């Protein structure tokens, strides 16, 4: 099931996106659901054509946990060693935006880069001290993410908070796919139609189950929390006026325009 969060003529709701996976967006519909669909999915009977609603970020997490250098080729392109354990950082919930929302480039940075990533959305049970063999049972689904990063600030600060924490630096969407095997998915990024990144999740250093288990032994993951699983090689700069598209096999495409902040 593809779970979306959207604004319709009557307000804000969660919905199930209906239509063939390869159908054009204007051929899809959204069926409204009651409440937040973590455990029980109940349809209200209301439906809209997808072009008639505004998609939002598919979830509003309490926190976003990022994993750095989870592809060997990406670590190498930045001149870094491959970590011996998942390298974690946090992005604030205020960094989250949805499909078509703008990525705002701050005046503090002269080099902001895209990072296409598979995002994991934690389900109703949350996750605390979860063994690896049960980690995937805690997942609601998966979505596309862009871990936008001010690379010059990251290098200057060494730690990642400022570089990755600006408002709009965590686009998520377009929806959450609940029926997906994350072990070998294509992860791509295009900027104005130019292919920049093209990787596969089979090349993760730490797979999704390992990451969830590791994080859950450090902090409690609450329902709706998001884990960013790392980006493949090919990160590069984005500038005002461009459009960045993150596509993940089995999910869809997340596109955001780039503007200067303020």
Q: pLDDT per residue over 84-106, tens digit each?
A: 999 999 999 999 999 999 999 99
Q: Is the pLDDT of residue 191 over 90?
A: yes
**Res 80: pLDDT:** 85
Torsion angle of the four alpha carbons 151, 153, 159, 164, in this order, in degrees rounded to the nearest 10: -60
Tokens, residue 141: 């689904």
Residue 12 Cα distances to 28, 34, 234, angstroms: 18, 11, 36
Read off the pLDDT of each residue in 161-186 and give the average, rounded to a whole number: 98
3 state DSSP class of 149? strand
Q: How many alpha carbons lie under 13 Å from residue 148 in its C-beta half-sphere?
A: 29
Span 41-61, average pLDDT: 97
* Residue 153 region by backbone torsions, left for phi larger than 0, else alpha for psi between -120 and 50, else beta: alpha
Q: Are residues 130 and 205 in contact, defined by beta-carbon separation less than 8 angstroms?
A: no
Structure tokens at 157: 């600060």
Distance in angstroms (rounded) separating the CA atoms of residues 236 and 181: 28
Query: Which one, of 209, 237, 227, lies nearest residue 114 by Cα?
Result: 237
Averaged pLDDT, 61-75: 95
pLDDT value of position 4: 98
- Assess whether pLDDT exceeds 90 at residue 238: yes
- Give strand pairing partners of 187: 199, 248
Cα(141)–Cα(124) distance, rounded to whole angstroms?
11
Residue-averaged pLDDT of the chain: 97
State yes or no: pLDDT of 262 exceeds 90: no
pLDDT of residue 58: 98
**What is the band of 78 on the pLDDT scale with cuts at 50, 70, 90?**
confident
Of all residues in the chain, what percent carry a pLDDT higher than 90?
Answer: 92
Q: Is the predicted pLDDT of residue 122 greater than 90, yes or no? A: yes
Distance CA 187, CA 114 (A): 13
pTM (two decimals): 0.97
What is the residue whose two structure tokens read 């032994």? 217
Does the pLDDT value for residue 75 go beyond 90?
A: no
Helix (H, G, I), strand (E, B) or coil at 41: coil
The structural domains of the chain, ordered by start, are: 2-55 (2.30.30.370), 64-260 (3.90.850.10)
């Amino acid at each position: 099931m593809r779970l979306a969060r959207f604004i319709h003529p009557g307000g804000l709701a969660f919905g199930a996106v209906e239509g063939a996976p390869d159908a054009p967006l204007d051929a899809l519909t959204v069926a409204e659901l009651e409440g937040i669909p973590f455990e029980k999915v109940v349809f209200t009977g209301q439906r809209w054509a997808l072009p008639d609603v505004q998609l939002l970020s598919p979830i509003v997490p309490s926190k976003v946990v990022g994993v750095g250098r989870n592809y060997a080729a990406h670590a190498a392109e930045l001149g870094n060693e491959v970590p011996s354990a998942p390298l974690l950082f946090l992005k604030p919930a205020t960094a989250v935006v949805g499909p078509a929302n703008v990525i705002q480039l701050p005046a503090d940075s002269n080099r902001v880069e895209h990072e296409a990533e598979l995002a994991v959305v934690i389900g109703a049970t949350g996750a605390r001290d979860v063994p690896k063999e049960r980690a995937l049972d805690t997942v609601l689904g998966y979505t596309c993410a862009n871990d936008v990063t001010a690379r010059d600030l990251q290098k200057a600060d060494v730690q990642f908070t400022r570089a990755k924490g600006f408002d709009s630096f965590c686009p998520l969407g377009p929806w959450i796919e609940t029926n997906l095997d994350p072990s070998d998915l294509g992860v791509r990024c295009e900027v104005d139609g130019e292919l920049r990144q093209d990787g596969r999740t089979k090349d993760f250093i730490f797979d999704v189950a390992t990451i969830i288990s590791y994080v859950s032994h450090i902090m409690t993951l609450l329902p709706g929390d998001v884990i960013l699983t790392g980006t493949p090689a090919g990160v590069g700069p984005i500038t005002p006026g461009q459009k960045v598209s993150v596509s993940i096999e089995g999910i869809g495409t997340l596109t955001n325009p780039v503007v200067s902040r303020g």
